[in-house]
């Protein structure tokens, strides 16, 4: 039932591309984590999957409550920047759970790089 509600909110025609985007984003972010934090592939993938699962649910909330028209992008840059900043902080918190020995500054940098790369990749899916 929840899946049907989510698909109705997102749109039945746009759901498969967004699922493909999430899969590619998890892999992209896992590669970034692998190279910038610790070279443990499985741990990087699990951390990336967990972070994207949480922020993916946050993005659905953004879509429900803060729907914007992409054609008016220049006027809505702030509306798109705020979710990016929230996602960076949330994913940094999740990465902190996986990589407790790393400094917070390094985790924030990796989270920022991951999210900017994912948002740049999202442009190709829109």
Distance in angstroms (rounded) separating the CA atoms of residues 96 and 87:
14
15: left (phi over 0), alpha (psi -120 to 50) or beta: alpha
Q: How do residues 36-68 score in pLDDT, each as one tens digit?
A: 998 999 999 999 999 999 988 887 777 777 665
Domain interval for residue 91: 2-125
The whole-number pLDDT of residue 6 equals: 47
- Count the domains in the chain: 1
3-class DSSP state for residue 42? helix
How many residues are listed for the chain in this entry?
126
pLDDT at 106 over 80: yes
The whole-number pLDDT of residue 84 equals: 85
pLDDT at 97 over 60: yes
Q: For residue 124, give Cα distances in angstroms to 24, 56, 94.
A: 12, 18, 26
């Amino acid at each position: 039932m929840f899946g049907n509600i989510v698909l109705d909110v997102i749109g039945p025609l746009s759901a498969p591309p967004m699922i493909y985007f999430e899969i590619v984003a998890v892999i992209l972010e896992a590669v970034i984590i692998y190279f910038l934090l610790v070279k443990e592939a499985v741990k990087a993938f699990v951390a990336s999957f967990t972070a994207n699962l949480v922020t993916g649910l946050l993005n659905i909330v953004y879509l429900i409550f803060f729907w914007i028209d992409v054609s008016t992008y220049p006027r809505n840059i702030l509306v798109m920047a705020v979710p990016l900043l929230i996602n960076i902080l949330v994913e940094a918190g999740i990465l902190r759970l996986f990589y407790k020995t790393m400094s917070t500054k390094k985790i924030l940098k990796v989270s920022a790089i991951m999210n900017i790369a994912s948002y740049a990749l999202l442009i190709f899916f829109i």
